Structures are given as structure tokens and as C-alpha cells.
Structure 1
């Protein structure tokens, strides 16, 4: 179909603001359920948390993998945006770092579930992993630099290594109720502080 001046009419329109908000609310609800119950949680639980019908979820995300990938991307963006906001509002850069790492741990719960869902799509998972690194390593580095500049932590900490260490502490936590990964991560972040 032509638009009158010889060009093809665009079929994809930007989402309305209310549609974007509704989708973000749905993704927030799905993320909360995934953190509490894992990525295999029933869609009806996600729908109840979001205050929508299950049909609404399937209309936006036809498969569970579509929903998990969308939650993953949503959480990456939320985590990336949270870093500067936490630096601006926290009492100290170390406090901002600790709060950001707590958000990162929530994200890792979904990421581990994503790995299981996408086992058959190695290239797709690698693309998402690269996106995750590109967006989050610089944010973690900014938080570490601010805490080091304030004299709260050592200046020689590497963002990628810290994120990898936090990730390693979280591996397998969902399979063992006696293993409290979040508590170990808290101890790790507390241990970054320089003695005063």
C-alpha cells in the first residue's frame, strides 16, 4: 500500500504511552514472580500480579521464552538506569553500590532461568549476554569509581570481576533453600569497604 508519495506506508507505529506503561507494569509483575517463584511460574500468577487476564500476557508475549526475554531486557534497562539514580539519592556511594548489587541479584535470578529456557538457542543467548555486559559493566564501574573516589573501597576493583563473583555466588541458590546467596553477596559487598 502506498502513502501517495510513492513510499510504502509504515506498518509499525510507536506504542502509545499508556500501552508502554501497561507493558512495563506487566514486565515488572513477571519479574517479581520470576524472582519469587522462578521462570516456570504459572502465567496465571503473573497475570494476577499484573492485574490483567492471561490473554493479555499471551497477546504481548506468545511464548514463555518471549516473556522471559522481554523481562530480561526490561531488567537490564532498569538495572542500568538505577545506578546513576542510586548514586544521586543514596547517603554514600558504597550504599548506592550495595543497593544496586541487590537489584543485580534479582536480575541474576531471571538470567539463570533464561539460560535454561534458551539452551537450544545459543546464538540468541550470547546476543543477550553481550547486551547485558555492554549495559551493566559500565554502570557497575561508575559505582565502584564513585565509592573509591570517596575513600570507601579500594580503587583497584574491576566491575566485570565483581559482577562475575556475585553471579557465581548466586548459581544454584534456587535449588537449595538452605543456601542464602543474597546474604553471601551482602557480606561480599560489605567486605569491599576499607577499614576506617
Structure 2
């Protein structure tokens, strides 16, 4: 009978989580040249712990990117549990723009991951589509969002907003989200 794999210890899970948070921030702010030992130190763990979880720099970058994407996508159901669908959608869009801003700082690091033969974006579309679909479905049920807009429509629009935000102010980003929300709510049963 095969051995049942042991569950990771809670401190190991916390260390991994902290490493991913710090790595995403450091790669976004300082780029690819940051030494793994500096990331480990900032995360409050030894470099051996970093390499036990992530044997290569590319593995760390890939995991940090996927972790950030998963975190932003997991916000959708939590927001829906606490807010009406239109409010949850607006808040989720703001989180998404924060994520995109951080990811743009990681672009050189992500290019290195791609060059190593790993596709960090393999699951991105499905995760984002599922998050947006949950928001749109809730909005259709409560009448606060239009029913003729697809997840792909929203993701394409958000991609445009995200691209524009990289070269503008946060105030302009909020105005663009306002315009997008106007488009999502116009013609809804709640408007």
C-alpha cells in the first residue's frame, strides 16, 4: 500500500506564503537581478528554505506570479459574499488593476521564466474567466449587471484599462473603472 503523503507543516506553509509575497514584491520593484538570499532574508527565512521550496529562480518567479494571480481571482467569491454584485465587481476590478501593475514590474522576470521553457500564463485565462464569470452571474441574478456581456468582453476591456493605467494616474484609473462599470450596469434591471 503506497504511503500517504504528509501534509506540509503549518510553519512550512507560512514560510512558502511569505516567500511568494516577498518575491513578487521584490521582482516587481527591483527586477530579476535580486539575489535569492536577499529575498529569503526579507521573508525572514533561510536561503535553504527558499531553495527547498523553489530550486531555481525561475521556479520562484513562476510560483510568485501564479500566487498573485490566484489571490486576485480568489477575491471574487469573497467579495460576492460580502457585497452586492456590482459593488463586488468594482472592488474586484480595482484589485485586478493593482495586480496588473505589480505584474508589469515583473515582466522581465516572467520573460526569463518563459525562456526557461515554462509558461507562467498557462492557467491565467481560465482563472480570470472563472472569477469574472462568477461576478457577472451574480450580477445577472440580482439584476445589477447586464446579462449580455461575457467574461471575455470584461477581460478584454480590463486589459485595455490595465494597459492605460500603466501610463496614467490612479485618479484616471478610477475614472476608467467608473466608465467600465457604467457599461456593465447600463440596461440592467437595477438601473
Taking structure 1 as the reference length, what is the TM-score of the superposition? Answer: 0.71
Show the counterpart of 1:118.
113
Gaps in structure 1 of 5+ consecutive residues: none
Show the counterpart of 1:86.
79
- Structure 2 matches for 1:45-194, cutoff 5 A? 46-47=39-40, 49-54=42-47, 56-90=49-83, 92-108=84-100, 109-110=102-103, 113=107, 115-121=110-116, 124-125=118-119, 128-171=120-163, 176=167, 178=168, 182-183=173-174, 185-191=176-182, 192-194=184-186
Cα 1:54–1:182 change in 2 (3 A) is: farther
Q: Deviations over 1:74-130 (max 9, x none)?
A: 12332332211110012x211111222223233334276254223425x632xx434
Alpha-carbon distance in structure 1 between the residues aligned to 2:82 and 2:90: 13
Q: Deviations over 1:127-184 (max 9, x none)?
A: x43412222212211101212332222211111221132123323865x4x4657446
The alignment of Structure 1 onto Structure 2 pairs a total of residues equal to 182
1:17 to partner: Cα distance? 2.1
| Secondary structure of the corresponding residue to residue 185 of structure 2 | coil
Higher relative contact order structure (alpha carbons within 8 Å, sequence separation ≥ 6): 2
Alpha-carbon distance in structure 2 between the residues aligned to 1:187 and 1:117: 35
| Secondary structure of the corresponding residue to residue 144 of structure 2 | coil
1:166–1:185 Cα contact (<8 Å) kept: no
Alpha-carbon distance in structure 2 between the residues aligned to 1:38 and 1:185: 28
**Deviates most, 52-61 or 99-108:** 52-61
* 2:22 aligned residue (19, 29, 32): 29
Cα RMSD of the aligned pairs, angstroms, is: 3.3
Gaps in structure 2 of 5+ consecutive residues: none
Alpha-carbon distance in structure 2 between the residues aligned to 1:189 and 1:169: 9
Taking structure 2 as the reference length, what is the TM-score of the superposition? Answer: 0.73
